[in-house]
Amino acid sequence: MTPANVHDSNMLQPLIESIEENLPEQRIGSTTGDKAYKSDKNDELLKDKKIKSELIPKEDLDTRPEKIKRKKLHSKRSLIETLFGLLTTQLNLEQPRLRGIDAVNFNTTLIIIALYCVNIVASKIGRADKINCPTFFFQ
C-alpha cells in the first residue's frame, strides 16, 4: 500500500528489492500488476532481473489468447483485494497503529492467521456465509 501521492510505478523496484532481501531463497519468476505499474523503467528492471512481466500494457494491443490468459491471471488479484478490504473495513486496519515495518508485517501476519482461523471455524460450524464477516465471531 502506498500513500496517495506516490505513483504505483515507483514502488515496483522497492517491492522486488524487499522480496529479494527478505526472502533470498525465493526466486521471483513473474510479476503481475495493473496498468499503473507499466513503464519503460519497470520493463527494463524486470528484464534485467529475468522476471517475466505480466503487467497490463497501457495500450491494449494484445491478441485474443493473451488477453484471456491475462484476464484469468488478474482475476486472482481480486482475492488479495478482498483480503485488504476485510482488513480495512471489518477489522479497522486502514491506519496501522504500530511503528516500523517489522511490527506492521508481524501484526498483519497475525491478523491473516486469525482470518484463516475464522474461515476454518465458519466452515466447521456450517456458517460458510460468515467467512467474510469475522466480526460475527467476536460479538
- Read off the pLDDT of residues 83-95 as tens digits, 9 standing for 90 and up: 677 767 766 666 6
How many folded domains does the chain comprise?
Answer: 2
Range of the domain at 27: 1-62
71 part of a folded domain = no
Verify that 3 and 51 share a domain, yes or no.
Answer: yes
Q: Which string of DSSP letters, residue by residue, matches 6-53?
A: S-GGGGHHHHHHHHHHH-TT----EEEE-GGG--HHHHHHHHHTT-EE
Specify the pLDDT at position 44: 93
Query: pTM of the entire structure?
Result: 0.44
67 part of a folded domain = no
69 part of a folded domain = no
Verify that 55 and 81 share a domain, yes or no.
Answer: no
Select from 14, 39, 62 the last residue of a domain: 62
Asked if pLDDT for residue 62 goes beyond 60, the answer is: no
pLDDT in tens, 63-82: 567 777 777 777 766 666 77
